[in-house]
Amino acid sequence: MMHFLEPEIVATVGILATLVAAMLVRPRSTVPYWFGLVFSAAALVRALTLHQSTHLYGGVVLGDSYSIVVTVFTLLAVMAGLLLAWDPERYGAEFPALMQLAGVGAMVMGFAGNLILLFLGLELLSLPLYVLAASRRTPLGGEAGLKYLLIGAFSSGILLFGAALLYGATGSMTFVNFTAVHVVPGLMAAGLGLLLVGLLYKLAIMPFHMWVPDVYEGSPTPVTAFMAFGTKVGAAAALLRVLAFGFSLSAAWWGLMLGYLAVLTMIAGNMVALPQRDLKRLLAWSGVGNAGYVLVGIASHNVVGAQAALFYLLPYGLAILLAFTVVRILEGREEAPVTLASLKGLAYRQPWLAVGFLVAMLSLAGIPLTAGFIGKFYLVRGAIAADQWGVAVGLVVATIVGLAVYFRPVQQMFAPGEGATGRFTVGTGIVLAVAALGTLFIGIYPEPVLHAVIQSARFTWLH
Partner 1 sequence: MVGFIILAVLSFASAVGVVVARTPVHSALSLIGNVVTLAVFYLLLNAEFMAAAQVIVYAGAIMVLFLFVVTLLTAGKEERERPESLAGQRALSGVLAVAAGVLLAGIAVRDSAGPLVTRFSAGYGSLSAMGRVLWGPDFDYLAVVALMLLTAALAVLVLNRRAEDPRPAAAKEDAS
Contact 218, 143 (CB under 8 A): yes
157 CB neighbour count, 10 Å cutoff: 12
Q: Which residue blocks in 85-205 are alpha helix, DSSP H?
A: 88-91, 95-111, 115-133, 139-170, 187-203
Burial state string for 384-401 with b = 16 or more CB within 10 A and e = fewer than 16: ebbebeebbebbeebbeb
Which of 174/265 has CB closer to partner 1?
174
Task: Write down the least CB distance from residue 212 to partner 1, Å.
Answer: 20
Which of 90/458 has CB closer to partner 1?
90
Q: CA–CA separation, 369 vs 347, rounded Å?
A: 21
Which of 333/463 has CB closer to partner 1?
333
Size of the site for partner 1 (CB under 8 A): 43
349: contact with partner 1 by CB under 8 A: no
Which of 333/423 has CB closer to partner 1?
333
Contact flags string 354-383 toward partner 1, x per CB under 8 A: ------------------------------
Binding-site member from 157, 171, 368, 448 for partner 1 (CB under 8 A): 171
Which of 104/225 has CB closer to partner 1?
104
421 CB neighbour count, 10 Å cutoff: 14
Residues 403-442 that bind partner 1 (CB under 8 A): none
Q: How far is CA 66 from CA 5, 130, 194, 306, 318, in A?
A: 13, 27, 25, 11, 19
Contact 92, 135 (CB under 8 A): yes
Length of the chain: 463
Which of 131/449 has CB closer to partner 1?
131
Which of 190/396 has CB closer to partner 1?
190
Contact 66, 459 (CB under 8 A): yes
Q: CA–CA separation, 399 vs 266, rounded Å?
A: 8
187: contact with partner 1 by CB under 8 A: yes
- Phi, psi of 211, deg, nearest 5: -75, -20
How buried is residue 307: exposed, middle or buried, by Cβ count under 10 Å (0-12/13-18/19+)? buried
Task: Write down the least CB distance from residue 126 to partner 1, Å.
Answer: 10
Burial state string for 60-94 with b = 16 or more CB within 10 A and e = fewer than 16: bbbbbbbbbbbbbbbbbbbbbbbbbbbbbebbbbb
Which of 177/461 has CB closer to partner 1?
177
Q: CA–CA separation, 191 vs 342, rounded Å?
A: 47
Which of 192/395 has CB closer to partner 1?
192
326: contact with partner 1 by CB under 8 A: no
332: contact with partner 1 by CB under 8 A: no
Binding-site member from 6, 38, 92, 430 for partner 1 (CB under 8 A): 92
- Phi, psi of 195, deg, nearest 5: -60, -45
Of all helices (H) and strands (E), which one includes residue 66?
helix 65-84
Binding-site member from 17, 34, 55, 123 for partner 1 (CB under 8 A): 123
169: contact with partner 1 by CB under 8 A: yes
62: contact with partner 1 by CB under 8 A: no
Which of 78/410 has CB closer to partner 1?
78
Binding-site member from 124, 258, 353, 386 for partner 1 (CB under 8 A): 124
Contact 183, 194 (CB under 8 A): no
Residues 133-152 that bind partner 1 (CB under 8 A): 134-135, 137-138
- Phi, psi of 154, deg, nearest 5: -60, -45
Binding-site member from 7, 88, 110, 128 for partner 1 (CB under 8 A): 128
Contact flags string 11-50 toward partner 1, x per CB under 8 A: -x--x---x-------------------------------
131: contact with partner 1 by CB under 8 A: yes
94: contact with partner 1 by CB under 8 A: yes
Binding-site member from 1, 89, 416, 426 for partner 1 (CB under 8 A): 89
108: contact with partner 1 by CB under 8 A: yes
157: contact with partner 1 by CB under 8 A: no
Q: What does the binding site for partner 1 look like in residue numbers (CB under 8 A)?
A: 12, 15, 19, 56-58, 60-61, 89-90, 92, 94, 97-98, 101, 104-105, 108, 116-117, 120-121, 123-124, 127-128, 130-132, 134-135, 137-138, 165, 168-169, 171, 185-187, 189-190, 333
